[in-house]
Amino acid sequence: MQRVFEILDAQPEIADQPQAQSLSTIEGHVRVERVSFGYDPQHLVLLDLSFEAKAGELVAFVGPTGAGKTTVINLLHRFYDPIEGRLTIDGKDLRDVTLESWYRQIALVPQETILFGGTILDNIRYGNMAANEAAVMEASKAAHAHDFITSLPDGYQTLVGEKGVNLSGGQRQRIAIARAILKNPRILLLDEATSSLDTESERLVQEALQRLMEGRTTFVVAHRLSTIQRADRILVLDKGKLVEEGTHAELLERKGLYHYLYTIRLNEPTA
């Protein structure tokens, strides 16, 4: 009982400000202005970070492990608020926007997709509870998930999660992508998986992601070269700081950290 009450009493990390306004339709212009952040305020892991994405742009983050890439995604999602600086959406401070209305505008495809116990249909519909079965199937087709789903004995009614069938990493990713397509957000946050999939799965996931990113403001922690090359802008993070910024070609030219990381990757067997 004590543990239950501890959970009930716990204040969420982020709550609506009293003056927070509901966000209606948005363009999707995101700015990050001189943001510093630490999970522990005494120990900052992002330092004076500034960048922007205009509506529909693709911005990619690269950098060594621990640089702060996932932390930036966490702030953009608003799992946390910055300690200094601010994030804005179409010029409005994110802290002045209700969480509920912000979450309707964004979708996150995480590094590791976790499916909850239930049917595949419900797992995808989680992206938009109002969607009917036809809409779920349409999203699944766009996510290259429909074919493997219908080949399962119970199709969309197949149980997944702890007590259900085991899906491969690539299949779970495509379910997460279908969920995001169904949600149809203006802003997309993507933390690409580091583990490589088999070639066929990789191609299907890549195509599905490409469709998902089209026309949306997208922030991606990129490991795939194909994603990086398509980015409008690449931001190179190192130890919480933005150290380089540019397109793939510009950054290679600079012969700095990006060039170094890129060269290492080319020598990996999975590149």
φ, ψ for residue 184, nearest 5 deg: 55, 55
Query: Rounded to the nearest whole angstrom, what is the least distance from the CB of residue 22 to Mg ion in the complex?
Result: 31
- Give the distance, in angstroms, between the CA of residue 123 and the centroid of all CA atoms in the same chain: 17
Q: Which stretch binds Mg ion (CB under 5 A): 29-37, 63-71, 87-95, 143-151?
A: 63-71
Binding residues for Mg ion, how many (CB under 5 A)? 1
Of ligand ATP, Mg ion, none, which one does residue 199 interact with (CB within 5 to 8 Å by kind)?
none
Nearer to Mg ion, 26 or 222 (CB): 222
1 three-class SS: coil
Nearer to ligand ATP, 24 or 65 (CB): 65
Of ligand ATP, Mg ion, none, which one does residue 216 interact with (CB within 5 to 8 Å by kind)?
none
51 three-class SS: strand
Q: Does 227 bind ligand ATP (CB under 6 A)?
A: no
Query: Rounded to the nearest whole angstrom, what is the least distance from the CB of residue 239 to ligand ATP in the complex?
Result: 9
Nearer to ligand ATP, 111 or 158 (CB): 111
Residues 6+ apart with CB under 8 A from 135: 128, 182
Phi and psi based region of residue 234 (left: phi greater than 0; alpha: psi -120 to 50; beta: remaining): beta
Q: Does 64 bind Mg ion (CB under 5 A)?
A: no
φ, ψ for residue 210, nearest 5 deg: -60, -45
Residues in region 35-94 near ligand ATP by CB under 6 A: 39, 45, 63, 65-71
Nearer to ligand ATP, 65 or 151 (CB): 65
Contact, 161 vs 169, CB < 8 A?
A: no
Query: Rounded to the nearest whole angstrom, what is the least distance from the CB of residue 132 to ligand ATP in the complex?
Result: 37
Contact, 215 vs 181, CB < 8 A?
A: no
Q: 138: number of CA atoms within 13 Å, CB side?
A: 9
DSSP-assigned states of every residue in 70-95: HHHHHHHHTSS--SEEEEEETTEEGG
Contact, 136 vs 125, CB < 8 A?
A: yes
Residues in region 117-156 near ligand ATP by CB under 6 A: none
Contact with Mg ion (CB under 5 A) among 17, 36, 70, 247: 70
Query: Rounded to the nearest whole angstrom, what is the least distance from the CB of residue 65 to ligand ATP in the complex?
Result: 3
Q: What does the binding site for ligand ATP look like in residue numbers (CB under 6 A)?
A: 39, 45, 63, 65-71
